[in-house]
Structure formats: structure tokens, C-alpha cells
Amino acid sequence: MDEGVTLTDPETVYFAYDTKIGRDVIVGPNVFFGPGVEIADNVTINAFCHLEGACVGEGASIGPFARLRPAAKLGAGVKVGNFVEIKKADIREGAKVSHLSYIGDARVGKNANIGAGTITCNYDGYFKYHTDIGEGAFIGSNSALVAPVNIGDGAIVGAGSVITSVVDGDALAVARGKQRAVSGWAADFRIKQQEKNK
């Protein structure tokens, strides 16, 4: 604190013996630093975050309720939002993983955007596999990236997709069942169910 770190509730923040924190860092309440954490200057760590074995670049924003596991590396200006878990992943400068996502064994390119509910499916029960997401790529919400897989620079993955093969740079990948509508089905269903109760 004497060197420029702001702890909004110091009594609830826990440090490891080797925690390194730069200047002008803000740490919210109930933050836990496990061993091997390095925080650069001008970082904001919001409430209820858990960090271990992670390296956080200048100007990054973390949490609330985020978990950085060993070998998580965040570049300058990265945003890791609420209920996001990062493990053994290199999140490059300006990339955003804003909420409700798991990114493990991966590289997320500069200025890429990871939509809510995205999962890197990195484990098959025996081995771990790598996911590579290119610079400026956009991953739609509720997508599953089944590793090993590469998403090219500037590519877009449509929301709700399960991606199992290469997505070329600047391409759109959509992998989901097509929506269909059956007119009147819901009304008929309600009538049938109500008749069962008589």
C-alpha cells in the first residue's frame, strides 16, 4: 500500500509469500493470491477473485469472481470478467473474456472477443489439447471449441456452435441445428396436457 497499491478492504485480502504487485493496482475485497502471482502496473482486481501461478499484464481488469489458475498469462489491457476461469492460457493484449467462460490450454489472440458461456473443451479423459484463437477473432456466446482446434485471425464463430475443425481467417463458422417452427404445436400440447389432468 505504501508503494501505490489500493486495497479496498485489506483485512480480507490474502497474499502468498512471493506475490508481486506493481504500482497503481486496485484490489477489491476477498481476493486470494496463491503462490507464483505477478501483477503489473495499473491492474484492477475486483472482489472475490482467486489467482495462482498467474501473470497479469499492465492495465488488465479481472473479475469479480474470476479464477486464474497456474500458467494463466494475461497481456496488457486484457479483460477477464465475472465467473471466468483461465488455466494454462495465453490471453494476448486487448482480448476480452467477459463472463461465464472456461479457457484452458489455449492462446487467445490480440483483441479477440470470447462470448459468454464459451468453453475450450481441452480434455478427453486422458490427454489435454490446445485451442488457438486468432487475432481479432469473435467467438459467439455458448460456443464449445473442441480441441485441438484453430480459429483463424478475424474469424467469427456463430453463437451456440460446437467447433471441431479449423476455421479459416475471416471466415464465419456456424455449427448448430437449424431452427424450425411448428405452428400451433404449443397450444395443442397445452390442451392435451390439461385433458390428462381431468
Mark whether 99 is an active-site residue: yes
Residue 80 contacts residue 91 (beta carbons within 8 Å): yes
Residue type, 171: A
Point out the catalytic residue in the list 92, 99, 107, 110.
Answer: 99
Q: Where do we find the cell 492495465? A: 59
Exposure string of 131-142, with b = 16+ CB inside 10 Å and e = fewer, is bbbbbbbbbbbb
CA distance 185 to 1: 63
Within 10 Å of residue 111's Cβ, how many Cβ atoms? 16
Nearest to 4, CA basis, from 23, 28, 19: 23
Measured from the Cβ of residue 88, the count of other Cβ atoms closer than 10 Å reads 17
Catalytic (active-site) positions: 99
